[in-house]
Amino acid sequence: MLDFFLFILFSVLESTALFYLAFKIFKIDLYPKEIVFAGLIMAFFSYEVRIESGMAEIDVFTQYLLVFCFIWMLFRIHVFYAAIMTGMVYQFYMLIQSLLYLLMKPIGVIGLEFHSVTIGVYLMQTLSALTAFSIGRFIGKRRKGFDFIPDKPEVKLVINSHKKILFALSLPSILIIFLMIYLSENFSQFFIIIPICYAVLLFGYLNFSFKTNRGDDF
């Protein structure tokens, strides 16, 4: 029972941080109750699929899909922009987590357990979430971020070349997450490839987001 509550708690913490970061990046109003509600649903889904059924790869897909669906249908962002938001924030968050994994793995923190409680994993989740919250807060305080994504689903959709590229950048997100799981379990010596991939894709997101925000096109 303790494992169940800890899993739910830290899963909600992570998903809340992910939504918070996404909304701060795109200057969208926060809805705390809805964010926690979405986090609880994601946590229960994750526990059922990952722990009860033992299908970590399927859990990766369902979590990504749930984030996309919540941004689209719960927070009422147009489906096209919801795909861009989901892709970017996942790249950002997984870059944070993969870098933390690289830092914590050599010193043996990841596998640390106490009375069958996986302290190392929970510590990494906590640090990932706190980092995401801190970055989101910094973006909000400095009034950074992008405002080309409207927070109403009924707006007229104008798709220029840069937005098409941003949408295309969202497509490899799940594949790279699957690759991260595979490398961490089978070829951990090559895990450095993962944050490099995330960093390259995130650079592309940020570059074309800045251009879209300025109204550039080609």
Sign (positive or negative) of CA dihedral 36, 39, 45, 51: negative
Q: What is the dihedral of CA 79, 80, 81, 86, to 10 degrees?
A: 80
Is the CB of residue 191 less than 8 Å from the CB of residue 98?
yes
On average, the pLDDT of the chain sits at: 85
- What are 104-125's pLDDT values in tens digits? 877 776 665 654 557 778 888 9
Alpha carbon distances (Å) from 92 to 41, 174, 217: 22, 13, 24
Six token digits for residue 42: 């994601």
- What are 73-91's pLDDT values in tens digits? 999 999 999 999 999 998 8
* CA separation for the pair 212, 3 (Å, rounded): 45
Question: Is residue 177 pLDDT above 80, yes or no?
Answer: no
